[in-house]
Amino acid sequence: MPRKPARGALITLEGVEGSGKTTQGRRLLARLRCLGLSVIWTREPGGARISERIRRILLDRRHREMGANAEMLLYLAARAQNVEQLIAPALHQGTIVICDRFSDATCAYQGGGRAIPMPTVTSLNRFATGGLKPDLTLFFDLSPEEGFRRLGRRGRRRLDRLEVEQAAFYRRVRKSYVALAEREPGRVKRLSASGSPEEVQDRVLEMVEPFLRRRGFLKTGALRPS
């Protein structure tokens, strides 16, 4: 079994709806587990039990009257609980945490999408996370139009409260993600989410491998099948 570094690593996955980040997160989890690494997957809003209950309130289509401030505070409440109960203890034990969305989603959706002033979003995010920042963020970039075409093709479930928002909202969200990737290129890696799941997975592993090696989780380039 590979030796566990003293602190784990927080890898977050971001992108607009239909960008495939959830599928890719699951694949990454399986791949890292195959290598014998200690790794968990969680999501936001959600993860911890209370956070999953908050998720249900947030995504309920009937809650049309929800204001932007209440919405943001609910995302942050869900995050605070998930960090305290699940993410921070796992990192403390040296575990790698893959989190499907995290604080950057609040910057992109509430800051960019809902136009809540960024300094407010940033300082409340810091309060909710206790200052915890992702070590690596993969931004799955796809036009919102293509994302929704994909969701439609999957014939998945009915669209949730946020998915029925207008296209302009999602264009602002994407623009914020792009700006974040430009502002923090060391942490936020932008990758194209178009193509087959296998092609995207290859791009994911290409970015995760050097990171894990740098952090002492991988001794060789064993992540990608040769």
Contacts with ligand TMP by CB under 6 A lie at 17, 44-45, 75, 100-101, 105-106, 109-110, 162
| Axis crossing angle, helix 68-82 with helix 49-59, rounded to the nearest 10 | 160
Placement of tokens 């109960």 in the chain: 85
CB of 216 to ligand TMP, least distance (A): 29
Q: Least distance in Å: CB of 146 to ligand TMP?
A: 15
State which residue, 17 or 135, has the beta carbon closest to ligand TMP: 17
Taking alpha carbons only, the member of 162, 220, 201, 200 closest to residue 36 is 220
Among 138, 141, 197, 139, which residue's Cα sits nearest to residue 171? Answer: 141
* Whether 99 contacts 13, CB under 8 Å: yes
Per-residue tokens: 48: 């911890």
> DSSP assignment, residue 220?
S
Nearer to ligand TMP, 4 or 169 (CB): 169
* Least gap, CB of 208 to ligand TMP (angstroms): 19
Q: Which residues pair with 42 in a beta bridge?
A: 99
Closest approach of ligand TMP to the CB of residue 72, in Å: 7
- Cβ-proximal residue to ligand TMP, closest one: 109
- 185 CA to centre of own chain: 16
Nearer to ligand TMP, 76 or 223 (CB): 76
Least CB distance to ligand TMP at residue 99 (A):
9
Angle at 54 between CA 143 and CA 164, to 5 degrees: 35
CB closer to ligand TMP, 104 vs 135: 104
Of the pair 8, 45, the CB lying nearest ligand TMP is at 45
